[in-house]
Structure 1
Amino acid sequence: MSFRVTQSMLSRNMMTNLNHNLLHMQRYQEYLTTGRKMNRPSDDPVGFNFSMRYRSELRANEQYQKNRDYALSRLETTESLMHAVNEIIQRAKELAIQGANDTNPDTARENIAAEIDEMIEQLESIANEKFQGKYVFNGEKTDAPPYNPENPDLSDIDNGKIVLQVGPGVQIEVNVTFEEVFGPLVDEGGGDGDHQDVYNNLFDVMHGLSQALRNEDTEGIHEIIGRLDERQDALLRSLASVGGRTRRLELTTERLNDDSVNLQRLLSRTEDVDIAEAITNLKMAENVYIASLSTGARIIQPSLVDFLK
């Protein structure tokens, strides 16, 4: 059985093939214009899924990096404040040892007590220090000052922990509580709660030292030196913890940077076009299209009028 091939069939097939070749050429032109080989999901459904996953992981990685930067800055600020507290304690110990000498005249002890009072004001300022507008030592209550110098018993202290995620499955505490630095404001179980007798925290100790100096209480000064040692030991343990967390964040930084580079490389391999290959393919598509136009011209040219001539 034979089929009759008409001129209209030839023309229709020719136009179909021309459009196909033109579309093929247009695709490579789009690759070169956008620099991407996937401009819509239909270009490569499997590759598009990988691309979306890589982009999602990159966004998560960027958030981890932001969390890490905030955590590192906050811990460095906290560490600096804690070092300042340690220097105050160390200076207070030196003054206490000096003031414990019974050969000191009354004026000498009064002068030492006056310096201790100034150091107490420094401690009060550090206790209520802020980082990026938020109180450093008040746990999760970052909008309220932890320490009330006028009435310590009315202080609103929160010992909650602030935890940030700085990597897949990696969380880290970014704050140090008031009690870890200055000690608890409440009675720990000894005495009647009088600041002069119990010495629950660093402020109690410093106030007690100031009063003992003015009262020429040598025995009390020696006792307070021991209390200063205790507070300093607790502070140094907290400082060591902060240092460990800072080092951990520095190691996390290297890993996050490596992850970002790897994800960018994978995304580029999935999405970005090979320029040299695209130019070669475009040139080939242009040649095919030109050849199809030339062939089409020969198909369309013959007509009944040509034969009647």
Structure 2
Amino acid sequence: MRVTQSMISQYTLRNMSNSYEKLMNLQERATSGKKLNRPSDDPIGAVKSLNYRTNLNENNQYKENFTEAYKWLDNSDGSLEEANKVMQRIRELTVSASNGTKLEDEREAIRLEVSGLKEHLVSIANKNIEGKFLFNGINTGQAPVDNKNGTIVVGASEKPISIELSKGLPIDISTDGTGVFSQAFFDNLTKLEQSLAEGSSGEEIGDQLSAMDENINSIISARTLIGARTNRLEIMEARLNEQGELLEKKLSDVEDIDFEKAIMDLQMQETVQRAALAVGAKIMQPSLVDFLA
């Protein structure tokens, strides 16, 4: 086959074009820091990248759910800690009132304090965060305890709030209000208040210490459950963070370039491109045939 000057020129131009395209791709990678700037760069890698990003988005959503769960548990535990302090004070007052030597005005002072502390416990039971009541299960828009007419009525929901912290794994984060601030809980306080108002004997008032202890134990039990849930959340969160770090590494392996290698490849290709241009310039110099034409 006869090789003409035109064929040599076309071959040279094609090689220079390919070299230039490769140079442009390397420059784009070095500038963006990414191997994948379009799906055609690596179709298989692009599919992997999409899957990793989808999983990372799910992972980040679960992280937000953990933040919400911790907030709910922390606020619930803080409220119960406050309730426990109030009940401890009421127990102290019960012990003090059971002393048969207390004068009438001293008992009245104790009754007034117990009454005020009972109201405070109602406010704790009706504690809400950002408009959501903590101790009414899924009925977060309704207060669990009604005390408008001077008679305490508890209508707390037993159905807990659950939040998904892992795929297909919902976790209860709310405290059962009926197990802590139950009707019996407030009835015990009302009975103590009435006994103080009616001038019951010190022995009769002392008999109510067991009821106060029941109230305290219900609070302690609820806080113990919150502690167990918090520990479980911490274990699950640590595993979620590990999964997130692994996904980010896999995504980086697929998408991100090795900068040192990318710069070396770019410099090498620039050298190749300059050499190709120099060779092409010599090969494509005008021949005698060009002048005769």
**TM-score normalised to the size of structure 1?**
0.87
**2:277 is the alignment partner of 1:293:** yes
What is the CA–CA distance in structure 2 between the aligned matches of 1:239 and 1:268, rounded to whole Å? Answer: 43
Cα deviation, 1:256-281, whole Å, max 9, x if unaligned, reads 33222222222222211111111121
Aligned 1:209-220 pairs, distance under 5 A: 209-218=192-201, 220=204
Given that 1:139 and 1:176 are in contact with CA atoms closer than 8 Å, whether structure 2 keeps it comes out as yes
Match of 2:178 in 1: 179
For residue 139 of structure 1, give the secondary structure of its aligned residue in structure 2: coil
Equivalent residues of 2:98, 2:206 under 8 A apart: yes
Aligned to 1:203: 186
**Conservation of the 8 A alpha-carbon contact between 1:159 and 1:177:** yes
Provide the C-alpha distance between the structure 2 equivalents of 1:67 and 1:269, rounded to a whole number of angstroms: 28
Summarize the Cα distance change of 1:233–1:243 in structure 2 as closer, same or farther, 3 Å threshold.
Answer: same
Cα distance between partner residues in 1 of 2:271 and 2:4: 28
1:148-297 paired onto structure 2 within 5 Å? 148-151=146-149, 156-183=155-182, 185=183, 201-218=184-201, 220-297=204-281
Residues 1-309 of structure 1 aligned to structure 2 (within 5 Å): 3-151=1-149, 156-183=155-182, 185=183, 201-218=184-201, 220-305=204-289
Whether the 8 Å contact between 1:140 and 1:160 is mirrored in structure 2 is: yes
1:20 deviates by 0.5
Q: Does the aligned pair in 1 maintain the 2:145–2:152 contact within 8 Å?
A: no
| Structure 1 position 27, deviation (Å) | 0.8
- Structure 2 CA distance, aligned partners of 1:108 and 1:295? 110
After superposition, the C-alpha distances for 1:192-215 in whole angstroms (9 at most, x for unaligned) are xxxxxxxxx222111110110111
Aligned partners of 1:171, 1:250: CA distance in 2, in Å? 15
Shift in Å, 1:159: 2.1
| Distance in 2 (alpha carbons) for counterparts of 1:107 and 1:153 | 26
What's the secondary structure of 2:208's corresponding residue?
helix
| 1: CA distance, partners of 2:10 / 2:185 | 94
Tell me, in whole angstroms, the C-alpha distance in 2 between the residues paired with 1:241 and 1:204. Answer: 24
**RMSD in angstroms over aligned alpha carbons?**
2.1
Query: Residue 31 of structure 1: CA displacement?
Result: 0.7
Tell whether the 8 Å contact from 2:164 to 2:171 is kept in structure 1 after alignment: yes
Tell me which moved more, 77-86 or 157-166. Answer: 157-166
Aligned length, in residue pairs: 291
CA contact (8 A) 1:37 1:43 kept: yes
| Letter in structure 2 aligned against 1:92 | I
Kindly indicate whether the alpha-carbon contact (under 8 Å) linking 2:122 and 2:145 is maintained by their aligned counterparts in 1. Answer: yes
The whole-number CA distance in structure 1 between the counterparts of 2:54 and 2:90 is 54
* Cα distance in 1 between the residues matched to 2:103 and 2:124: 32
Q: How far apart are the structure 1 equivalents of 2:91 and 2:156?
A: 27
User: Which residue of 2 is the match for residue 190 of structure 1?
Assistant: none
Task: Decide whether the 8 Å contact of 1:75 with 1:242 is kept in 2.
Answer: yes
- Looking at structure 2, the residues matched to 99 and 167 of structure 1 have their Cα atoms a distance apart, in angstroms, of 52
Give the 4+ runs in structure 1 shifted more than 4 A.
151-156, 305-308
Q: Which amino acid aligns with 1:202?
A: F
CA distance in 2, matches of 1:181, 1:84: 13
Contact map agreement 2:97 2:107 (CA 8 A) in 1: yes
Q: Structure 2: any 5+ residue segments left out of the alignment?
A: none
Given that 1:209 and 1:224 are in contact with CA atoms closer than 8 Å, whether structure 2 keeps it comes out as yes
The one-letter code sitting in structure 2 at the alignment partner of 1:222 is G
SS at match of 1:166: strand
Distance 1:299 1:276 in 2: 35
Cα contact 2:152–2:186 (8 A) shared by 1: no
CA–CA distance in structure 1, aligned partners of residues 100 and 280 of structure 2: 117
CA contact (8 A) 2:147 2:153 kept: no
Q: Answer yes or no: is the 8 Å Cα contact 1:144–1:156 preserved in 2.
A: no
Paired-residue identity, % = 36
Q: CA deviation at 1:53?
A: 2.0
